[in-house]
């Protein structure tokens, strides 16, 4: 293996070093010492008799160096690191740069910010990254933008992995979280670069201006996304359609863009009298420029390095193996930034690329007799490429997103060729505009039609009604087993004995899985699963008994928005949880328009009873009178008596002075919408109960001692009140014998699942 695949051999050691550093947290100095010792020993034993030993020692030194680099950057932190500020309750003035593309959730936007300075008590220069959470969906902030904002830095909770381990892996290098209610709290500077990056920004602006001159606004935004990954002006609804159809990768610049651009310029240079050396230099310059234009995306860097190595090998007339080429690309990226190993984009890019290199040739061998037919080239082969890419990405997508769109092969088969033609069309528009502006308008008119057709297809294939495979709580060992099984299956295509072994292992694994499912079903009888997630104005809980597709809902608060909160946030979450019927709805607080939204959802799902607080009864009755359904069967019931399931194993709801108490399987959850001074008095109900407070920014430091003395030890809230600059914490009173670590306080930062 060392001689045939030397790059793969080194890559395995580099990955092992990063994983070892992440799991062991050994001091970086130890890894540096191991790197030096291994390298020196390798030089001493270097020679014909001990070539393999020397290769292993050099590989160990490379692994130790990658571990040292990871340790220095991500846990052996200096005094000026942003992690030192995460435990500080103050509000900071933060300067930084957007380090990654915005991640659009159902009700918020998460953006990774590389912090460079915090002017606080003489501390200006800092290092590290924070996660900026904005309580709205927006694509205005883009990778590379310089930002400025105020906020408190909350530490990343160590209890995150059990709830969402996939997201935890993707958060490597993030050391804190900052919450903002609106994008207006952020100052954005999109042109704050120097040197070569400033020239790259100017070129990117020129490309953007040409596209907006020759295309309609939405088409121009799509063209910027397809060509250079610029998604700033793409409407949020369009962005989500691409995500739901499984074609979001088309808006993130990938290796296919590099291939298309190289193909365009190869065809452009073919009629010209250009020597091979000059043509190679021109193509390498184009690859470098495009990598800078696309912000150095891992998939682009991978494709750029592979293309550069192939061009250089062709120029030197040297044979090359694509497995070694892609391994070199991965090694270069990981040595430059070890945390890329845990990035979803990096994993997907290399898994799909390796799948196309390793799997696709073995499958196409089965079609040797028909490879010259037109229907194979234009139908079968593209379908095989799309299917292989989909199969290779299933494990990672299911692990991180817990759902796999089943229409992705069909969507990619239809949309990817259109997008490929569109990318070539964008290049034609740019070239035509440079030659003659009116010619650019003519080319842009045809390209605009193609982009609008692509948008129509994405809108149809990205509908929420399209089928998807749900794979919740997928463990990492299952993902590794999937890829191992895929590897053995492909190898078994040529070996009879291996096919038999794979068949036997598959039967054993299938029976073991059925047995585990039966045992888990028996153990889960009587359990209740409670899923908590944020909505504008509060927290919503979905209470789902085991093995049931019917669930109750508890809404602690809901504010009015320009969109339907129930259809945009709550219904997708119910679909993800497999809930197809709502039993009862409990509402503790809601604005009037939000009450209409809740009632429309309840009526459409045939909910019999909606339990509301007494002060909300009039608002809900008025909203019920305005319901479009004639004489709805939904009833508005005041919360003043026990309600819930008659089955003793199911959850029981009871209204008390503290709020709504949910009792299930011997555990208690207390829901309330806000903190009131006289509401939480010492009681036995609070013992071992989980208090869930819905209204945002309602927990402050002066509330914690009171809740502690009332008996609460576990609290979940929408957010924690941020102290203004210069404000000091209150002291005295009941809090004199209280310390914050006495209470397990969880600020809800996503979706939390509780099994009772």
Query: 342 and 464: one domain?
Result: yes
User: How high is the pLDDT of residue 244?
Assistant: 62
| Domain final position from 189, 208, 229 | 189
Q: What is the CATH number of the domain that holds 183?
A: 2.40.50.140
| Domain final position from 503, 523, 543 | 523
User: How high is the pLDDT of residue 68?
Assistant: 93
The full DSSP string for 294-342 is TTT-HHHHHHHHHHHHHHHHHHTT----HHHHHHHHHHHHHHH-GGGGG
Q: What is the distance between the alpha carbons of residues 745 and 708, in angstroms, rounded to a whole number? A: 11
Query: 27 and 117: one domain?
Result: no
User: How high is the pLDDT of residue 405?
Assistant: 67
- Entry pTM: 0.67
Number of domains observed in the structure of the chain: 5
For 188, residues 6+ apart whose C-beta sits below 8 A from its C-beta are 140, 141, 145, 146, 147
Query: What burial class does residue 606 get, using C-beta atoms within 10 Å of its C-beta: 0-12 exposed, 13-18 middle, 19+ buried?
Result: exposed
Condensed to tens digits (0 to 9), the pLDDT of residues 322-360 reads 888 888 888 888 888 888 888 777 888 788 888 888 888
Indicate the DSSP class of residue 77. Answer: -
For 332, residues 6+ apart whose C-beta sits below 8 A from its C-beta are 301, 305
Query: 567 and 430: one domain?
Result: no
On whether residue 1 sits in a domain, the answer given is no
On whether residue 635 sits in a domain, the answer given is yes
Query: 532 and 681: one domain?
Result: yes
User: How high is the pLDDT of residue 648?
Assistant: 42
User: How high is the pLDDT of residue 248?
Assistant: 61
Is residue 263 classed as helix, strand or coil in its secondary structure? helix
Query: 571 and 702: one domain?
Result: yes
656-664 contacts, C-beta under 8 A, 24 or more apart = 656/685, 657/681, 658/683, 658/685, 658/686, 659/588, 660/554, 660/586, 660/588, 661/685, 661/689, 662/530, 662/541, 662/543, 662/554, 664/528, 664/530, 664/543, 664/756
Please list the alpha-helical segments (H only) found in 436-524: 437-461, 476-491, 496-523
Between the two ends of the chain, the Cα-to-Cα distance in Å is: 51
Query: 400 and 336: one domain?
Result: yes
User: How high is the pLDDT of residue 32?
Assistant: 92
Is residue 272 classed as helix, strand or coil in its secondary structure? coil
Query: 565 and 459: one domain?
Result: no
Average pLDDT for runs of 10 along the chain of length 756: 77 92 88 92 78 85 92 82 79 86 74 86 78 79 83 66 48 79 76 64 85 87 79 70 63 70 83 83 87 75 80 78 84 86 80 85 84 80 80 80 68 75 87 88 89 80 60 74 84 77 77 68 65 85 82 88 81 81 88 86 85 85 72 76 48 79 79 72 68 73 74 76 49 50 67 74
Query: 418 and 307: one domain?
Result: yes
Give residue 542's domain range.
528-755
On whether residue 532 sits in a domain, the answer given is yes
User: How high is the pLDDT of residue 53?
Assistant: 84
* Residue 734 CA, distance from chain mean position: 42
Query: 240 and 200: one domain?
Result: yes
On whether residue 273 sits in a domain, the answer given is yes
User: How high is the pLDDT of residue 478?
Assistant: 80
On whether residue 603 sits in a domain, the answer given is yes
Q: Residue 528 has which token pair? A: 């209740």
């Amino acid at each position: 293996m060392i001689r045939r695949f030397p790059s793969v051999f080194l890559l395995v050691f580099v990955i092992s070093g990063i994983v070892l550093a992440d799991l062991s947290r050994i001091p970086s100095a130890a890894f540096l010492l191991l790197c030096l010792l291994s390298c020196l020993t390798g030089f001493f034993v270097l020679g014909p008799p001990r070539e393999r030993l020397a290769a292993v020692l050099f590989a160990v030194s490379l692994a130790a160096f990658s571990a040292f680099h990871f340790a220095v950057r991500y846990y052996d932190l200096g005094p000026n690191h942003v992690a030192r500020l995460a435990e500080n309750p103050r509000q900071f003035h933060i300067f930084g740069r957007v380090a990654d593309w915005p991640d659009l959730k159902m009700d918020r936007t998460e953006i990774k910010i590389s912090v460079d300075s915090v002017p606080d008590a003489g501390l200006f220069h800092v290092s590290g990254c924070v996660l900026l959470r904005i309580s709205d969906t927006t694509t205005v902030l883009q990778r590379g933008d310089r930002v400025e904002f105020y906020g408190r830095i909350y530490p990343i909770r160590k209890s995150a992995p059990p709830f969402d381990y996939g997201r935890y892996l993707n958060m490597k290098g993030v050391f804190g979280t900052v919450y903002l209610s609106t994008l207006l709290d952020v100052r954005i500077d999109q042109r704050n670069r120097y040197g070569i990056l400033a020239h790259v920004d100017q070129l990117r602006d020129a490309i953007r201006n040409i596209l907006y001159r020759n295309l309609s606004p939405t088409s121009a935004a799509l063209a910027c996304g397809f060509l250079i990954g610029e998604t700033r002006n793409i409407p949020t609804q369009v962005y989500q359609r691409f995500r739901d159809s499984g074609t979001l990768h088309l808006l993130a610049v990938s290796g296919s863009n590099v291939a298309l651009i190289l193909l365009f310029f190869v065809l452009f240079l073919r009629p010209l009298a250009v020597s091979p050396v000059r043509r190679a230099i021109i193509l390498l310059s184009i690859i470098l420029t495009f990598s800078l234009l696309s912000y150095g995306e891992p998939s682009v860097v991978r494709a750029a390095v592979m293309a550069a190595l192939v061009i250089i090998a062709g120029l030197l007339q040297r044979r090359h193996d694509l497995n070694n080429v892609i391994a070199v690309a991965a090694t270069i990226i990981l040595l430059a930034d070890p945390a890329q190993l845990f990035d979803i984009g990096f994993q997907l890019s290399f898994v799909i690329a390796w799948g196309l290199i390793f799997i696709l040739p073995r499958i196409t061998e089965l079609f040797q007799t028909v490879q010259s037919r037109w229907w194979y080239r234009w139908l079968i082969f593209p379908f095989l490429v799309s299917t292989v890419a989909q199969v290779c990405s299933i494990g990672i997508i299911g692990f991180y997103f817990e759902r796999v769109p089943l229409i992705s092969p069909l969507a990619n088969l239809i949309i990817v060729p259109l997008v490929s033609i569109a990318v070539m069309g964008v290049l034609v528009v740019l070239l035509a505009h440079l030659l003659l502006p009116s010619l650019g308008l003519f080319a842009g008119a045809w390209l605009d039609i193609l982009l609008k057709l692509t948008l129509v297809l994405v809108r149809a294939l990205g509908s929420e009604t399209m089928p998807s495979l749900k794979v919740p709580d997928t463990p990492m060992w299952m993902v590794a087993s999937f890829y191992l099984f895929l590897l053995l299956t492909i190898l078994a295509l040529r070996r009879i004995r291996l096919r038999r072994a794979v068949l036997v292992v598959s039967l054993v694994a299938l029976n073991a899985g059925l047995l585990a499912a039966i045992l888990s079903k028996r153990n889960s009888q009587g359990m209740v699963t409670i899923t908590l997630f944020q909505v504008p104005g509060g927290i919503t809980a979905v209470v789902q008994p085991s093995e049931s597709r019917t669930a109750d809902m508890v809404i602690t608060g809901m504010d009015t928005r320009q969109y339907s909160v129930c259809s945009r946030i709550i219904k997708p979450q119910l679909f993800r949880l497999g809930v197809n019927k709502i039993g009862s709805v409990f509402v503790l607080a809601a604005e009037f328009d939000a009450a209409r939204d809740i009632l429309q959802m309840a009526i459409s799902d045939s909910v019999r009873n909606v339990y509301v607080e007494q002060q909300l009864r009039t608002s809900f009755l008025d909203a019920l009178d305005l319901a479009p359904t004639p004489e709805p069967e939904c009833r508005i019931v005041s919360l003043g008596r026990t309600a819930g399931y008659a089955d003793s194993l199911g959850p029981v709801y009871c209204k008390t002075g503290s709020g709504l108490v949910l009792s299930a399987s011997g555990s208690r959850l207390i829901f309330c919408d806000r903190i009131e001074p006289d509401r939480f008095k010492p009681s036995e109900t609070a013992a071992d109960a989980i208090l869930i407070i819905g209204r945002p920014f309602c927990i402050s430091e002066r509330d914690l001692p009171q809740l502690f003395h009332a008996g609460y030890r576990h609290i979940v809230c929408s957010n924690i009140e941020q102290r203004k600059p210069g404000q000091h914490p209150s002291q005295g009173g009941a809090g004199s014998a209280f310390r914050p670590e006495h209470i397990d306080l969880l600020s809800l930062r996503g979706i939390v699942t509780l099994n009772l």
